[in-house]
Amino acid sequence: METKKDIRKLTLAQIKDFFKENKEQTFRATQVYEWIWQKSARSFEEMTNLSLKTRELLNTYFEIRAVKIAQKQVAADKTIKVLFELFDGNKVEGVLIPTENRMTACISSQVGCSLTCKFCATGYMDRLRNLDAAEIYDQVVLIRQLAQESYQQSLSNIVYMGMGEPLLNYANVLQSVEHLTSPQGLGMSPTRITVSTAGIAKMIRKLGDDGVKFNLALSLHAANDEKRNQIMPINESNTLFALRDALKYFFQKTKNKVTYEYIVFYNFNDTAQDAEELYQFSKHLPAKVNIIEYNPISMASFQNTDPETLDKFANYLERKGLVVNVRKSRGKDIDAACGQLAIKN
């Protein structure tokens, strides 16, 4: 017999068609869809309002390729890093980041990454494949359960800032957001979701055309092309001018503010001139700047700038009227911090 299909790849209409063909009542399709996306069922056995005969029919033709937790580590600051195992044996990492006023799930969109950013551990891995929408959704469901079990709190925010470049897995990322936010899914607010990109101009424009409601963050890290090319090869084909243009278009279409993420590396992008260039790039549309502490990785020799220089850098931008947040690293002691996610063989 041929391999069973993953039922989560089917639309509601396709599940209805299946029931029609098998002489079952089509309202059952809506029940199945609710079990999958609202109640996060991991097997047909859980679907208790379906008859045994109907569940056996589903089991004959379909499967649910549920993501599993293979391992978890808890950091000194209570950050939890999770190693997820996919149905085909591939693995990705996600992180639960608890802070005083929020519970954030940091999730992955690809197995590995193709962008080779020089400061990021994931960038030293090969990109093996995209995650499908259900695999992205499952990470949120499992991290949400961890938040309840470990800290008795609800998940409040989701960031697509784990492994991979979300905009190179565009359709699956948008479909996963739909399952997370729609009333037929988990019903979360799209304003609590941030998708972070290394900067692919044509896909940023597409986000604008598609009228997305979630937040967009650009991993900037240098605001002149020469420096950005050195650390982020994607910049050679997506220059700062092209990105600025695309972001203006995105804002014009969605009215969503953009966040710029900027790691301040010692003796590389931490001068007053660098801060001025960042201001010049940022001033064209309503935006905020997250200054991020660098988290060292063994493959690169970058260092975090010293606290005094970082303060001067942030103060310069604030005096220019930008909204600036200085983000402290979370989970660094278990390699769960920004830029540290990588599967170790």
- Alpha-carbon distance 33 to 128, whole Å? 29
| Domain parsing of the chain, residue ranges | 5-63, 68-334
Residue that wins the pLDDT comparison between 127 and 188: 188
In the structure encoding, which two tokens stand for residue 60, read together? 């004959």
Mean pLDDT, residues 206-220: 97
The confidence score (pLDDT) of residue 344 equals 55
Whole-number Å distance between alpha carbons of 192 and 203: 21
Exposure string for 92-102, b = 16+ CB within 10 A, e = fewer = bbbbbbbeeee
Tokens of 286: 């309503």
Alpha helices (H) in 9-132, listed in sequence order = 12-21, 27-37, 52-61
* pLDDT in the model for residue 223: 96
Please list the alpha-helical segments (H only) found in the chain: 12-21, 27-37, 52-61, 133-151, 170-181, 201-209, 225-231, 240-254, 272-282, 307-319
In this structure, are strands 129-130 and 110-111 parallel, antiparallel, or unpaired? Answer: antiparallel
For 98, the 3-state DSSP assignment is strand
Which pLDDT score, from 0 to 100, does residue 127 have? 86
pLDDT 10s digits, 239-290: 999 999 999 999 999 999 899 999 999 999 999 999 999 999 999 899 999 9
pLDDT tens across 133-169, in order?
999 999 999 999 999 999 999 999 999 999 999 999 9
What integer pLDDT is reported at residue 116 of this predicted model?
80
Q: How far is it between the farthest Cα atoms of the chain?
A: 72
The three-state secondary structure class of 142 is: helix
pLDDT band at 331; cut points 50, 70, 90: low
User: Global pTM?
Assistant: 0.93
- The distance of Cα 37 from the centroid of its chain, to the nearest Å, equals 19
283-317 pLDDT, tens digit each: 989 999 999 888 777 777 788 889 899 999 999 99
pLDDT of residue 117: 87
Q: Using CA atoms, how far apart are residues 110 and 93, in angstroms rounded to an integer?
A: 10
The percentage of residues in the chain with a pLDDT greater than 70, rounded to a whole number, is 94
pLDDT confidence tier of residue 345, bands split at 50, 70 and 90: very low
Residue position matching structure tokens 């650009």 = 218
Domains 5-63 and 68-334 share a fold: no
Of the residues 93, 165, 261, 293, only one is catalytic, namely 93
- Per-residue pLDDT band for 339 (boundaries 50, 70, 90) equals very low
Which among 88, 104, 112 has a CA at the least distance from the CA of 169? 112
93 is catalytic: yes
Band (pLDDT 50/70/90 cuts) for residue 329 is low
pLDDT of residue 253: 97
**Looking at domain 68-334, which of 3.30.230.10, 3.20.20.70, 1.10.10.10, 3.30.1330.10 is its CATH number?**
3.20.20.70
Backbone angles phi, psi at 85, to 5 degrees: -105, 130
* Mean pLDDT to the nearest integer, 118-133: 86
More reliable by pLDDT, 169 or 329:
169
Residue of 106, 113, 117, 338 with catalytic role: 338
Mean pLDDT of 226-242: 96
Give the CA count within 13 Å in the CB-facing half-sphere of 115.
Answer: 31
Of residues 175, 244, 176, the one with CA closest to residue 205? 244
Q: How far apart are CA 345 and CA 343, in angstroms?
A: 6
Q: What is the pLDDT of residues 18-37, one digit of tens each?
A: 999 999 999 999 999 999 99
Active site residue 45: no
Angstrom CA distances, 45 to 26, 32, 53, 63, stand at 19, 11, 11, 11
- Mean local confidence (pLDDT), 211-232: 96
Residue range 5-63, CATH number: 1.10.150.530
Average pLDDT, the chain: 92
pLDDT tens, residue by residue, 56-112: 999 999 999 999 999 999 988 899 999 999 999 999 999 999 988 899 999 999 998
